[in-house]
Amino acid sequence: MMEKRTVALITGSSSGLGRTTAMALAHQGYDIAVNYVHSVDEAQLLVSQIQQVGVRAVAIQGDVTVIEDVQRLISRVQSSLGGIDILVNSAGPFVRERRLFAAYSLEEMDYLVRGNLLSVMQLDALVLPHMRENGWGRIIHFGFGHASEARGWPHRAVYAAAKVGLVSFTKTLAEEEAANGITVNMIAPGDIRGANKEKTIAEVEHVVDEETPRGRPGTGEDVARMISFLCLPQSDFITGNVIDITGGLDPIKTIPVLKNKVH
């Protein structure tokens, strides 16, 4: 009889926090589906590195903001590796430029909300039948530090609204699916930037970060360690949580909002 393998899909995993998470789950013994939009070379490199760990891996192109891509992504993973047991929704568009809400176009609003909320709900819906059939599943959402408090975030109105909506959905889905052995949690990282997303804790433990109360920058390992823990079979009693991984940093700082009225 063929051994039942645990399959994990990590969206947006060719680089950054998604990449670090993919490697961490591979070391946990799970088969990995790497998802990318444009970075095909990076995705293929990651697949080869994961395969060296001794598990199966595939790279599948797909933009989570496009519903046809979402459907194709799930179908391709299922045909290549089998049903999806772990879904890590790390993909999510973000506009780093600070802008008032009035400066966003309607198309940008649609893109940000679709990429950070609606696509996550659609992906979750497509993996639930397999998880329910097996009586086991792990779903991880991504938010931002203090998202569960639903505070205003000047210059981040659209992104924040989508993620705060995702907080509510996380808690609702967790309650609905708990009896089916499926846990749903949200990881809420602090301001982990650039290359630090793929670094280990050891690489930054002596680096000073004056913004973070902990005193060092956050890393991809900080996030991946928590996701790995939540994906363990023994973590079945932890569900519906929003877990801040911020080193004590509050990313929602009071920022002076321009007072100039539009005449």
Q: Where are the domains of the chain?
A: 7-245
The whole-number pLDDT of residue 60 equals 96
The pTM for the full model equals 0.93
Q: How confident is the model at residue 128 (pLDDT cuts 50, 70, 90)?
A: very high
What mean pLDDT is predicted for residues 94-122? 94
Other CB atoms within a 10 A radius of the CB of residue 256 amount to 6
The DSSP bridge pattern shows strands 31-36 and 57-61 to be parallel
CB 80 within 8 A of CB 24: no
Q: If DSSP codes are grouped into helix, strand and coil, which group holds residue 242?
A: strand
Specify the pLDDT at position 209: 86
How far does Cα 170 stand from its chain's mean position?
A: 12
CATH class of 7-245: alpha beta
CB of 91 within 8 A of CB of 11? Answer: yes
Cα separation of 12 and 90, whole Å?
Answer: 6
CA distance 160 to 155: 9
> Mean pLDDT of all residues in the chain?
91
Q: What CA–CA distance (Å, rounded) separates 199 from 190? A: 15
